[in-house]
């Protein structure tokens, strides 16, 4: 206390400094800063969570263009293809049916990453064209490979944007397992 100041005035000044907008003992500036930090944190979590979900949905969407045909083969045209020629993106060869109602075809196309020239593979015919897809464990893993890449990418977003390292390691482990399985099966 300053000697020229009365004791009552000094007490009143100290009590005004201790009041806050929230009533919890923080000065008004600190309360506003805490609120803005919380809002920014919420915005970061919401936006990075949305990005991670969109990445995972895109991975499922990309995989789903072939996965149902490979996984759910009952009632579909199934057979074998002997790969005789390969171009940059696709290989081709004659199709030999194995299911009733399936017709032999002189030439069908299959993705070149899933096969090698001179070998015979079990396949399912994709409806509406001359494209076939490899079946069995190798075909299933290859169909879900885009999801494996999406899992890896989402793990980076979850670790960096959401700061959830355990969840990121789980996503990355699942993606690496799926991609490694597809690589080894093919």
| Rounded average pLDDT per 10-residue block, the chain, 186 residues | 59 52 64 83 92 96 92 90 90 92 90 87 87 91 95 95 94 96 89
pLDDT the model gives residue 88 = 84
pLDDT the model gives residue 89 = 86
pLDDT the model gives residue 7 = 62
pLDDT the model gives residue 140 = 93
pLDDT the model gives residue 35 = 83
Q: How far apart are CA 15 and CA 179, in angstroms?
A: 65
pLDDT the model gives residue 9 = 56
pLDDT the model gives residue 33 = 79
Q: How far apart are CA 92 and CA 17, in angstroms?
A: 82
123 neighbors 79 (Cβ within 8 angstroms): yes
Q: How far apart are CA 140 and CA 166, in angstroms?
A: 28
Q: How far apart are CA 13 and CA 25, in angstroms?
A: 15
Residue spans of alpha helices (H) in the chain: 7-18, 28-64, 67-71, 136-143, 145-160, 165-185
Give me 129's structure tokens.
């064209």
pLDDT the model gives residue 64 = 94
Q: What is the DSSP letter of 131?
A: B
Give me 147's structure tokens.
């999801």
Q: How far apart are CA 150 and CA 135, in angstroms?
A: 22
Output the pTM of the full model. Answer: 0.74
């Amino acid at each position: 206390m300053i000697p020229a100041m009365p004791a009552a005035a000094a007490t009143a000044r100290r009590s005004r400094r201790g009041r806050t907008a929230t009533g919890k003992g923080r000065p008004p500036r600190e309360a506003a800063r805490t609120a803005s930090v919380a809002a920014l944190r919420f915005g970061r979590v919401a936006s990075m969570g949305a990005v991670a979900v969109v990445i995972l949905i895109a991975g499922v969407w990309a995989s789903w263009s072939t996965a149902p045909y490979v996984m759910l083969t009952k009632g579909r045209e199934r057979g074998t293809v002997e790969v005789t020629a390969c171009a940059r993106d696709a290989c081709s060869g004659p199709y030999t049916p194995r299911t009733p109602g399936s017709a032999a075809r002189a030439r069908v196309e299959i993705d070149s990453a899933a096969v090698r020239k001179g070998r015979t593979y079990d396949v399912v015919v994709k409806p509406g064209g001359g494209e076939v897809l490899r079946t069995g464990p190798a075909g299933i893993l290859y169909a879900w490979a885009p999801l494996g890449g999406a899992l890896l990418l989402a793990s980076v977003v979850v670790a960096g944007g959401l700061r959830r390292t355990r969840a990121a390691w789980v996503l990355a482990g699942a993606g690496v397992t799926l991609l490694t399985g597809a690589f080894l099966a093919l």
